[in-house]
Chain A
Amino acid sequence: MGESLRIGVFICRCGTDIAGVVDVKALSEYARKIPNVAYVTEHEFLCSREGLEVLKRTIRRYGINRVVIAACSPKLHELTFRRAIQEAGLNPFLLEIANIREQCAWPHSHEPEKATEKAKYLVRAAVLKVATLEEIGEISVPVKTSVLIIGGGIAGITAALKLAEYGFQVYLVEKNATLGGRVLQLGTVFPTEDCGVCMPPYVLERHRKCLYKYAQMVMVHPRIKVFTRSTVEHVEGHVGNFKVTIRRGPRYVDEKDCVACGVCEEVCPVEVPNEFDLGLSTRKAIYMPSPYAVPHTYVVDEDHCTRCGACVKACPFNAISLNEKPQDVEVEVGAIIVATGAEEFNPKGMYGYGTYPDVITQLTLARMLDPSGPTKGEVIRPSDGRRPSRIVMIQCVGSRDPKINPYCSKVCCAIALKHARSLKKRYPEAEIAIVYKDIRLAGKDYEQYYTECEELGVKFIKGEVLDVVQDPETKMLRVELESYGERKELIADLVVLSCGFVPSEDAKKLAEILGLNLAPDGFFMTVHPKLAPIDTNTDGIFICGACQGPKDISETVTQALAVAAKVAALLAKGVIKIDLAKAFVDENYCIGCATCVMVCPYDAVEITPRGVAQVIEAACQGCGICAAECPAGAMQLRNYKDDQIYAAIRGVLGA
């Protein structure tokens, strides 16, 4: 700090975006008079390549040692400018940005004089603050070469296999008793129309691989450890070094000993609806979660088990123990991937769903169409088991409705048309009508569904369904709708609701545990939908698949592979550099009261044996809560120290 301050102020005209409102000349004149300002210049577009060159050249030529940029929001180009001044030989933190576009030119465009006046105050604040800034260095922190993946559906499985292939240790946590997720229930999947558990070729492998095999590969992979029936309970640490507590729920059946002979199931006296088939079949309290369950092991449903012990006695391999307790396992990982997927919207109370058994959802229909499903591929009316002959599908249930979910769930159209086509091929005599708002089938492989459905005689009716009621005499369903301003009525013996996606019910709890943000619609929020589609606000935690919004399988797999690449790039480095724009303690003032320890959300402060606070820099996220709470003024946050904030206050108030 020995050398004298030479502050350079660079004002960006941003074409006319700033200069069209703010009087840039007057602003320059004003800036020149602020103490310690050695040089002021204007530029048309500072963020352009040429602008950055001017910035660097000017810094070198005029011996500038502090930089103020008066331009757009620091959210846009702070990093760009930090990098530029670093290239010019300055510490990247000796920079302040006065946001004269988003905060002056744009919101006050109708009163240019006031916008200019405000810009002066913002520039003054930046100059006064930059004068107090100090160089900030960085440290290197080793990175754990393992990763936690939450969710064992198609996204989690894909990412797990890819990362294990790259050579990283993977911990895969699935809340259900089987891997595979929603895809297991779907029967055939578009656009390739292969069976839901069978997926298109996996990257470099030429032959078809099915999800079932994938899941098996996950199970046997030496670098993947699978936790089924498990949840993430606690996470602490930071990018490169997370400590995760996984709660392993009891299966009550030992995975290693169980051979899936099914004897236990035969003796179990409890019978309940099978959720995998959405109630189309029943299961026992000890059951195989799905025909393709991986691990292929029985599991006890603790909510319905009466603890009678019949299965324990019957098991020829002594694999069952009803005394199993949940177990907490701790793992250390360098990164975390959230792949918890989505659920089908529950249309209870809409269009007679829940009242009339013959009003079902597309997922139930998918279970029926699945050749290995509860009806062996036969479509039936749940009320009487007869084959329906007049089927009406209703689109956009729970989607594109401002009162429920405003968003389009994107895949329901394709699912409906896929099912309509299958039905028409299987039962050519059946009448099928689809009532829609818009048919949204984007993508090169999807249009064929529409043309084929039309050729096969599926009726498309643009309109809005008002209600579905049952005729008390004929027991047929009357679908009342409005189409082009006209009231119409369709008679159906099966109504299928094309429901949208909603976030997984655990999303909120998980978001809290991980410190992630949820969008107002309840899905996990990405940093940027286009440019950072799998990143979150917390370094080292990523999201992929339907947990961030409705997605089809191919998009989900693409994201899972992207996330794998991103995590690999992070972990492969072995070390990460962390800048020290973090909290620090002035030991001369610290009284060892541990207020900072209590208020830190990241456990990033500890009290040393000498009785003073110490910041764990790699864990500190730089929020500054400790600095505000410290009663002794000993805790400070670099770049936002008290005197630095005071300088900014003086600046904006012209004091």
Chain B
Amino acid sequence: MKDELFEPVIVVFCCRWAAYGAADMAGINRLSYPSNVRIIRVPCSGRVSPLHILQAFRLGADGVVISGCLEGGCHYVDGNLRALRRVRQLKKMLDAIGLGGDRLEMYFVGSCNLDKFANYLREFTERIRRLGPNPLRLREG
């Protein structure tokens, strides 16, 4: 990465229960995380299909995060685990097509885990910063 100021754009799909709650709590507690993180609210992390993730990459996201309730604490029983399964499969696909599976991650958070939530986002942003911009974005200029 020659451009040191590269600020990755990260799309975060948050389930409306714990993950969105953790994001709210982070805000309420003035806990800062990178401002290029942009949250899309979905009812459950299990609602996010691989197509949504691919669409985000296609439109230029440098990284995509799916965030749902803690394991065992999903508001919809096992939606978060289904999301995890999809993320794992899609990571392999992203590796295969050259985008890189590391650009995609699933995080489980409790609605009170605001610190954890903010930390995940900071770490993920750092990781994407190291990986550099989404190659699709570069190509399209």
Report A's interface with B, CB cutoff 8 A. 73-75, 99, 101-104, 106-111, 114-115, 117-118, 121-122, 125, 515, 517-518, 520, 537, 599, 601, 621-625, 627-629, 637, 640, 642, 645-646, 648-650, 652-653, 655
* Contact between A115 and B35, CB atoms less than 8 A apart: yes
Expressed in whole angstroms, the Cα–Cα distance for A9 and B123 within the complex equals 34
Identify the interface centre among A121, A648, A649: most chain B CB within 10 Å of its CB: A649
Interface residues of B in 27-48 (CB under 8 A from A): 27-28, 30-33, 35-36, 38-44, 46-48
* Contact between B47 and A107, CB atoms less than 8 A apart: no
Which of chain A's residues has its CB closest to B15's CB? A623
* Contact between A601 and B79, CB atoms less than 8 A apart: yes
**Residue among A520, A599, A655 making CB contact with B60, cutoff 8 Å:** A655
* Contact between A624 and B42, CB atoms less than 8 A apart: yes
Residues of B within 8 A of A106 (CB): 27-28, 30
* Contact between B33 and A107, CB atoms less than 8 A apart: yes
CB distance from B135 to the nearest CB of A (A): 16
Which of chain A's residues has its CB closest to B9's CB? A653
Residues of A within 8 A of B52 (CB): 642, 645-646, 649
* Contact between B86 and A628, CB atoms less than 8 A apart: yes
Identify the interface centre among B16, B32, B33, B44: most chain A CB within 10 Å of its CB: B44
Residues of A within 8 A of B104 (CB): none
Assuming A106-B27, A623-B76, A645-B40, is B46 touching A111 (CB within 8 A)? no
Excluding A102-B27, A601-B79, A649-B55, 11 further A-B contacts by CB distance (< 8 Å) are A73-B24, A104-B35, A106-B28, A108-B35, A115-B35, A623-B79, A624-B43, A628-B48, A629-B49, A653-B9, A653-B61
Assuming A75-B24, A649-B55, A653-B56, is B47 touching A110 (CB within 8 A)? no
Assuming A624-B42, A645-B40, A653-B56, is B78 touching A102 (CB within 8 A)? no
Residues of A within 8 A of B59 (CB): 649-650, 653, 655
- Between A and B, 24 residue pairs with Cβ closer than 8 Å are A73-B27, A99-B24, A104-B35, A106-B28, A107-B27, A107-B30, A107-B35, A110-B32, A114-B36, A599-B82, A601-B79, A621-B76, A623-B46, A623-B47, A623-B76, A623-B79, A625-B44, A625-B46, A625-B79, A628-B48, A637-B43, A642-B51, A649-B55, A650-B59
B138 part of interface (Cβ distance < 8 Å): no
Which of chain A's residues has its CB closest to B113's CB? A520
* Contact between A628 and B56, CB atoms less than 8 A apart: no
Give per-residue flags for B1-39: 1 if the beta carbon is below 8 A from chain A beta carbons, else 0. 000000001010000110011011011101111011011
Residues of A within 8 A of B79 (CB): 601, 623, 625
Expressed in whole angstroms, the Cα–Cα distance for A645 and B50 within the complex equals 12
Expressed in whole angstroms, the Cα–Cα distance for A517 and B35 within the complex equals 31
B101 part of interface (Cβ distance < 8 Å): no
B132 part of interface (Cβ distance < 8 Å): no
Residues of A within 8 A of B96 (CB): none
Expressed in whole angstroms, the Cα–Cα distance for A623 and B42 within the complex equals 9
Give per-residue flags for B79-114: 1 if the beta carbon is below 8 A from chain A beta carbons, else 0. 100110010000000000000000000000010100
* Contact between B48 and A652, CB atoms less than 8 A apart: no
Expressed in whole angstroms, the Cα–Cα distance for A110 and B17 within the complex equals 27
Identify the interface centre among A104, A115, A517, A537: most chain B CB within 10 Å of its CB: A517
* Contact between B40 and A625, CB atoms less than 8 A apart: no
Expressed in whole angstroms, the Cα–Cα distance for A646 and B40 within the complex equals 10
* Contact between A109 and B49, CB atoms less than 8 A apart: no
Residues of A within 8 A of B27 (CB): 73, 101-103, 106-107
CB distance from B29 to the nearest CB of A (A): 8
Residues of A within 8 A of B86 (CB): 628
Expressed in whole angstroms, the Cα–Cα distance for A599 and B81 within the complex equals 11
CB distance from A344 to the nearest CB of B (A): 26
Expressed in whole angstroms, the Cα–Cα distance for A623 and B78 within the complex equals 10
Expressed in whole angstroms, the Cα–Cα distance for A573 and B75 within the complex equals 27
Expressed in whole angstroms, the Cα–Cα distance for A74 and B46 within the complex equals 20
CB distance from B85 to the nearest CB of A (A): 10
Residues of A within 8 A of B44 (CB): 623-625
Identify the interface centre among B9, B32, B35: most chain A CB within 10 Å of its CB: B35
Residues of B within 8 A of A625 (CB): 44, 46-47, 76, 79, 82
* Contact between B35 and A623, CB atoms less than 8 A apart: no
* Contact between B75 and A517, CB atoms less than 8 A apart: yes
